C-alpha cells in the first residue's frame, strides 16, 4: 500500500516571500524554503538603510564622519607634501641649467635707453666765410659772359642768389639724459657752449630743437628744454651716490664719435676725484672715477647702476696724450650736483 506524503507543519510561504525566493535564484524543483529561515541582506545595503533611516543611531553618523576626515587627511597629506630646502635647490638648479638669464648690464641698458638723447650743437657760419661759387683758391678770375662770347663760347647762366645769409656748422655731438618727462634734459656745458642752435634726437627718432635753461659751469653741466617731445617720453630714475662704493658695477650710455646709442660696462674705480680740464684749466671736484669705456661723444651721457638708475653725468676722460681717447679713466659728475643744476632738490 502506498504511503501518504509527509509535509512540514510550517505554513505555506506567503506571497511576499515568494519574490524574495525568486530573486535568490532558487528553481521550482528545489526543496521548498521554510518561511522561518531569514534571508540576510548584504552588509553595505544594511549600512545604507540604517544611515538613511530617520532613526539612525548617533554612533553610526560619528563613524562615518571619522572615516571621511581620515580619507581627506590621507589625500591632502600625500598631495601637499612640505617643500624642503633640497627641493628648492633642485628647482633653482634646473632653472639655471635650462634658462639663459639676461646680463645685468643688458637689463640696465633696457631701463635707461628710452631716456637717452643725442645732442648736436650748431653754430652760424658767416656768409663772408663761405667759398664763392665758381672760384677756388689761387684760381684765375672767371671769364665774363662778354669775354666768353668773344671767344666763341655761350654766355654763362647767371648764378642764382643765395637767400641764406648763414650756414649751420655742426660743432660736435654729445649725449643727454631726460630727467623730467616734460623734456628737461641734462648734458655737459662744453657740448652746447657757444652753439647758436641745439638739436636733440630722442630714442624713438623724433628730432627737436632745444634751448639752454640753466648752466652750472663749475661742474660743466647744462640743462636743456626740448621744444617738442614724444608723447610717451620716459624720464630716467636718479639715485643717490651715498651708498656708491668702489667696485660697484656701472654702465655708461652715449654716442661715442656719434655712434649709438652705445653701452659700455665697468666698475666704479674711485670717489671724490679731482680733474683739471687741459683746455680751460678748470678743476672739477668730487667726481666719480669709472673704467667703463667713454670717448668723445659720451659727454653728457648717464652713468647708471645695474638697476638702470642714474648716479652721474659723464663729463671727462683722462688721457695725457694728444689722442684724447679712452685709456681706462673716466669721470662723472655726481647726480646730486646735476639735480641742483636743474633746480631740483638734492636727495
**Are residues 166 and 124 in contact, defined by beta-carbon separation less than 8 angstroms?**
yes
DSSP string, 141-164: PPPPHHHHHHTTPPPPPPPPP---
Q: SS3 for 2?
A: coil
CB-based contacts of 295, cutoff 8 Å, min separation 6: 256, 257, 317, 325, 326
CB-based contacts of 151, cutoff 8 Å, min separation 6: 143
Q: How far apart are CA 105 and CA 111, in angstroms?
A: 10
Q: How far apart are CA 206 and CA 193, in angstroms?
A: 23
Q: Is 172 left (phi over 0), alpha (psi -120 to 50) or beta?
A: left
| Nine-digit cell string for 50 | 540604517
Which of the residues are catalytic? 190, 220, 299
CB-based contacts of 17, cutoff 8 Å, min separation 6: 35
Strands 184-188, 166-180: pairing is antiparallel
CA distances 28 to 10, 11, 18, 19, 25, Å, are 18, 18, 11, 13, 10
**Are residues 241 and 288 in contact, defined by beta-carbon separation less than 8 angstroms?**
yes
C-alpha dihedral over 185, 188, 194, 197, to 10 degrees?
Answer: -30
Amino acid at each position: 500500500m502506498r504511503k501518504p506524503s509527509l509535509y512540514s507543519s510550517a505554513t505555506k510561504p506567503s506571497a511576499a516571500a515568494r519574490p524574495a525566493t525568486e530573486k535568490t535564484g532558487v528553481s521550482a524543483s528545489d526543496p521548498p524554503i521554510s518561511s522561518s529561515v531569514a534571508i540576510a541582506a548584504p552588509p553595505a545595503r544594511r549600512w545604507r538603510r540604517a544611515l538613511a533611516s530617520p532613526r539612525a543611531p548617533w554612533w553610526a553618523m560619528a563613524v562615518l564622519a571619522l572615516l571621511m576626515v581620515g580619507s581627506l587627511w590621507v589625500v591632502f597629506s600625500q598631495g601637499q607634501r612640505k617643500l624642503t630646502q633640497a627641493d628648492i635647490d633642485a628647482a633653482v638648479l634646473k632653472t639655471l641649467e635650462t634658462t639663459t638669464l639676461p646680463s645685468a648690464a643688458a637689463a640696465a641698458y633696457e631701463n635707461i635707453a628710452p631716456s637717452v638723447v643725442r645732442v648736436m650743437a650748431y653754430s652760424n657760419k658767416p656768409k663772408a666765410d663761405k667759398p664763392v661759387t665758381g672760384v677756388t683758391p689761387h684760381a684765375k678770375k672767371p671769364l665774363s659772359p662778354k669775354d666768353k662770347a668773344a671767344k666763341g663760347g655761350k654766355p654763362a647762366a647767371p648764378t642764382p642768389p643765395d637767400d641764406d645769409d648763414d650756414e649751420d656748422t655742426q660743432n660736435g655731438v654729445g649725449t643727454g639724459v631726460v630727467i623730467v618727462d616734460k623734456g628737461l634734459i641734462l648734458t655737459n656745458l662744453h657740448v652746447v657752449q657757444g652753439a647758436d642752435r641745439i638739436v636733440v634726437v630722442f630714442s624713438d627718432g623724433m628730432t627737436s630743437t632745444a634751448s639752454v635753461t640753466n648752466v652750472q659751469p663749475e661742474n660743466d653741466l647744462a640743462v636743456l628744454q626740448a621744444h617738442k617731445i614724444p608723447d610717451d617720453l620716459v624720464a630716467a630714475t636718479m639715485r643717490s651716490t651715498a651708498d656708491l662704493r668702489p667696485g660697484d658695477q656701472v654702465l655708461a650710455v652715449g654716442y661715442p664719435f656719434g655712434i649709438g646709442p652705445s653701452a659700455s660696462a665697468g666698475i666704479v674705480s674711485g670717489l671724490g676725484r679731482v680733474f683739471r680740464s687741459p683746455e680751460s684749466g678748470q678743476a672739477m671736484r668730487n667726481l666719480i672715477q669709472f673704467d667703463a669705456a667713454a670717448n668723445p661723444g659720451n659727454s653728457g651721457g648717464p652713468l647708471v647702476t645695474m638697476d638702470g638708475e642714474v648716479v652721474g653725468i659723464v663729463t671727462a676722460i683722462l688721457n695725457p696724450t694728444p689722442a684724447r681717447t679712452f685709456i681706462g679713466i673716466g669721470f662723472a659728475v655726481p647726480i646730486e650736483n646735476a639735480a641742483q643744476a636743474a633746480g631740483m632738490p638734492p636727495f
